[in-house]
Amino acid sequence: MGRRRWLPYAINGLVVTDVFGRNFSINRAGTNNEQEWYRWDMYNISKKDSADRETFGKLVSIPRIKNRMESEPIEKVMFLRDEMANMIWGVEEVVPDEVFGGMDGKNAYLEVLDYLNDTLPPPPDPPDYIPNQALHRFRLANAVPENWIPFIATKQAPSEHGGRDVMVQRAAMLRYVDDNYTNEVIRPRTEILSIGISDNKPYFINEEVVGRSGFVISSNFQRARWYDGKVFTWLGRTVKGGRGEGNSGLKFDILADKEPDN
């Protein structure tokens, strides 16, 4: 079977009949070259390198798939606003597993945390630490689950990103084990949030894109048959509306009870 070509459709004429039985011929817009305002039209195909805005006057009908099969998400990231922390987060609700599937992002984080708590020795006290009988302890900040990836506002140069003064940039937090921060940086586990990491490049998004409701990006395998019976499988992404604002629980400048010295 030869390859099917998809050609644009051309409408040669259109006749409208009113309730009185009178026929009216409707011409296509944009056919009068003498009066500029007559040249307005929509959905036309413009000719390449045409200085006078010449168009083909045809409508392209792109083939599309009516039905397809979709797998469960192998990646799912929810972007939301956290007004209490004044930040935007990319929450990895589903992360890839080792067999081309997805697993719950929070459960994956808890499994890593349990492993680290069982295998790593407790961190030593700082060299300048003096045992004391204080009742409280000052902490600079607490921790959030590792599947919460932060995005922070970053000032931009006037010549970059379309002249925007501020954009939201992917940031990172340190791993928090046994009630203490480590020197290990938490990285995203989804490709959706890992853009540019391998090339050591930043990842920016426009702040206004993440509204109060947020949005969700999902990746899953999709399968369909074409008109000649061939089967095609690909990895696609969908974007849907979110569920509103969230609260990461991130806090700064915390005065907490101090553990007694041994």
Identity (one letter) of the amino acid at 97? D
Rounded Cα gap, residues 57 and 59, in angstroms: 7
128 lies in the same domain as 245? yes
pLDDT over 80 (residue 12): no
* Same domain (yes/no): 55, 97: no
The range of the structural domain enclosing residue 57 comes to 1-63
Whether 78 and 6 map to the same domain: the answer is no
Q: What is the pLDDT, as a whole number, of residue 124?
A: 66
User: Do 74 and 44 belong to one domain?
Assistant: no
Q: pLDDT for 55-81, tens place per residue?
A: 676 777 777 777 889 999 999 999 999
Exposed/middle/buried for residue 81 (C-beta within 10 Å: 0-12, 13-18, 19+): buried
pLDDT at 126: 66
Is 28 within a domain? yes
Residues 107 and 1 in one domain: no
- For residue 23, give both structure tokens: 């026929």
| Structure-token match 């300048």, residue found | 128
Same domain, 107 and 191: yes
113 and 32 assigned to the same domain:
no
Cα dihedral sign for 112, 187, 92, 197?
negative
Are residues 154 and 252 located together in one domain of the fold?
A: yes
Domain edge (last residue) among 63, 81, 99:
63
For residue 123, tell me if it sits in a domain: yes
Last residue of a domain, one of 47, 63, 79: 63
At 137, is the pLDDT very low, low, confident or very high (cuts 50, 70, 90)?
confident
pLDDT score for 96: 93
Instruction: Give the three-state DSSP class for 47.
Output: coil
**125-135 confidence digits (pLDDT tens):** 666 778 888 88
In this structure, is residue 262 part of a structural domain?
no
Those residues with Cβ within 8 angstroms of residue 66's Cβ, 6 or more apart along the chain or in another chain: none
Quote the number of domains for the chain: 2
Tokens representing 102 are 């997805």
109 shares its domain with 231: yes
Q: 38 and 75, same structural domain? A: no
**H-helix segments, the chain:** 105-119
Do 28 and 81 sit in the same domain of this protein? no
Does residue 229 have a pLDDT over 80? yes
Backbone angles phi, psi at 106, to 5 degrees: -70, -40
> For position 172, what pLDDT does the model report?
92
**Residue finishing a domain among 63, 84, 104:** 63
- Give domain status of residue 213, yes or no: yes
| Domain match, 37 and 106 both | no
| φ/ψ of residue 76, rounded to 5 | -150, 120
Phi, psi dihedral angles at 205 (to 5 degrees): -135, 155
Neighbours of 241 (CB within 10 A): 10
